[in-house]
Amino acid sequence: MALRDFLNRLIPASRLTGDVAAPKVGTVRDPFATDQADGMTPVRMARILRSAANGDPLSYFELAENMEERDPHYLAVLATRKRSVGQLPITVKAASDAADHKKHAQYLQSWVDDGVLRACLFDMLDAIGKGLSVMEIDWKTTTNAWTPRELIWRSPTHFDFDREDGETVMLREAASLVDLDPVNFVVHRSKAKSGLTVRSGIARVAAWGWMFKSFTIKDWAIFCQNFGQPIRLGRYDNNATEEEKSVLWKAVSQIAGDCAAIIPTTMEIEFQEVGSKSASTDMFERRADWYDRQISKLVLGQTTTTDAISGGHAVSKEHREVQEDIERSDALDLTTTINLQLVRNIIAFRFGPQEHYPTLSIGRPDEVPLGEFATAFDVFARHGLQVPASYLYNRLGAPPPKGDELTVGGRPATTALEPPTGESSGGKPQPERLTARQSLDRLFERSAHVRADARDEAELIADRLEEDAADILDGQIDAIRAALDQATSLQDAARRLAALDLEEEALAKAMASAMMVAHLSGQAALLDALDDDRK
């Protein structure tokens, strides 16, 4: 059975089965790498980085792995950056509204829903530190379909770069380098700087800071071990033999840890006190913290999310926006890699090569914050804006109610209430239970002296209010219409409406006058009716 990839090339099914880059002990892809961090010196660090830049990245990739294992802060900030992207929403968009394109999108969405892609995002983002990550695709087959069962992380130490261009990733074999089969591998690159991939990873920049911080931690550990311990000084005569000196040295060195020495009786050692012991103690911590802050800036672009520093809510918000920018960039890089190297073949292996393919996206939608959206929508809805209810449910992340299930919220019922009537258990008719408004209406109906022109008075009051407020409302409506016409978005419209300086005082006076007249008119009618009832 042969398949066709997205370039319409025949792909034998046998190429999609079996491991290609699996590690094996005793080969060039040994799963147990060398620890390059042991005994690190500035000279050795320079040699490792220089070798990587010159086309031999093996030691550099091993060192990058060791750095994550030995520095808790470096590991933490890298994991934070990876996990912030690994939990973002994954969406699929059809190439068009055509039936076939929608079918392709549904097929891809069903694979995304299986969780295979989300499970591998963390490993794909290993490229943030090392510059690249290589995932081997484990294809599974069903009836007329091939989809990835798993994307397996392969150590970058098992790969090398083409000696001619320095960029093409190749698989290490016993005596040579082998080209990667594009239907079996996904190569993700993440660049902190422009240039060759091997020189663009964060680990290359962080290596120097990691090394100097490790020196500081080591010196601090020695200081803490010997702080407060007495210095042992052994003295020997000029005629002491080497054996006697050896015995004396064992004696002073075995009493405690370091800070021991032996000297002839004719010699002296003078110990000068430092100016401030507390200052020298703080120096180690301050230096280690400084290196940690530089690593935070390098990986996360800021320090607020990793260190408790002063600055208030405004600084924290600004630093969070920086982190979101980096998160968005990482998500876009992942989206591009997956669409180009994985999505096309998933669709081609099932439906054949296509001119257009569905688009997979990783990241949060670029939307107005929910609070601002609700405020703006409330304003626009009053001016006639209509949107489907499904959009609002999706925007709020709330499911629509189904059938007769119990709901909370919604608009109150607007149907008229009929006053209940009935008989008690004894057969006697019960009086109607009326609301206060219904009682007043009944009182007016019973009154023989309710003026026949009461409705006319209400209409006159409404007409007078409309006349007084007409000019004021016309000016306000014109200002609101101009603000809405000039707005470029819902958020911009909300800001423009909030900034309008409308004449509220004149309108308030007109409404207050009308309400006062209506109130007095109603009181007069009620008093007349009560007076008639007493008669």
pLDDT in tens, 371-389: 888 888 888 888 888 888 8
| Residue bearing the bigger pLDDT, 83 or 232 | 83
Which pairing describes strands 145-154 and 132-142: parallel, antiparallel, or unpaired? antiparallel
* Mean predicted confidence (pLDDT) in 119-142: 94
Distances from the Cα of 255 to the Cαs of 102, 232, 242, 382, 487, in angstroms?
80, 8, 20, 87, 82
**Residue-level pLDDT at 478:** 76
- For residue 16, pLDDT over 80 is answered with yes
What are the pLDDT digits (tens) for 69-90? 999 999 999 999 999 999 999 9
Lowest mean pLDDT among 86-95, 129-138, 335-344, 444-453: 444-453
Separation of CA 46 from chain center: 36
**Residue-level pLDDT at 465:** 65
Q: Give the SS3 label for residue 329.
A: helix
pLDDT > 90 in the chain, percent: 40
Give me the helix-helix angle, 42-53 and 202-226, nearest 10°.
Answer: 170
* Mean predicted confidence (pLDDT) in 341-359: 94
**Residue-level pLDDT at 245:** 84
**Residue-level pLDDT at 34:** 84
Closest CA to 212 of 427, 327, 67, 69: 67
Distance CA 253, CA 260 (A): 6
* Mean predicted confidence (pLDDT) in 237-242: 84
pLDDT band at 484 (very low <50, low <70, confident <90, very high): confident
* Residue carrying the six token digits 């309400």: 515
**Residue-level pLDDT at 450:** 45
Q: According to the per-residue pLDDT averaged within each range, which of 44-58, 211-225, 460-474 is highest? A: 44-58
**Residue-level pLDDT at 451:** 47
- For residue 118, pLDDT over 90 is answered with yes
- For residue 470, pLDDT over 80 is answered with no
pLDDT band at 161 (very low <50, low <70, confident <90, very high): very high
pLDDT band at 436 (very low <50, low <70, confident <90, very high): very low
- For residue 362, pLDDT over 70 is answered with yes
* Mean predicted confidence (pLDDT) in 85-103: 93
Closest CA to 461 of 526, 525, 518: 518
Residue 271: count other Cβ atoms within 10 Å of its Cβ. Answer: 6
**Residue-level pLDDT at 279:** 58
**Residue-level pLDDT at 306:** 63
What are the pLDDT digits (tens) for 294-306? 999 999 887 766 6
How high does pLDDT run on average in the chain? 81
| Residue bearing the bigger pLDDT, 480 or 452 | 480
Distance CA 454, CA 452 (A): 6
| Position 42, amino acid | P
**Residue-level pLDDT at 47:** 96
* Mean predicted confidence (pLDDT) in 330-334: 95
| Residue bearing the bigger pLDDT, 217 or 518 | 217
Distances from the Cα of 232 to the Cαs of 29, 228, 244, 251, 428, in angstroms?
52, 12, 17, 9, 112
What are the pLDDT digits (tens) for 26-60? 888 888 878 898 989 999 999 999 999 999 999 99
**Residue-level pLDDT at 448:** 40
Q: Is 8 left (phi over 0), alpha (psi -120 to 50) or beta?
A: left
φ, ψ at 410 (rounded to 5°): 100, 170
What are the pLDDT digits (tens) for 250-294? 777 766 666 677 667 766 656 656 555 555 668 888 999 999 999
Give, in degrees to the nearest 5, the angle at Cα 38 between 32 and 41.
135
pLDDT band at 464 (very low <50, low <70, confident <90, very high): low
- What global pTM score does this model have? 0.66
* Mean predicted confidence (pLDDT) in 477-492: 80
Which residues does 210 contact at the CB level (< 8 Å), separation at least 6? Answer: 67, 70, 71, 74, 291, 295
CB 368 within 8 A of CB 491: yes
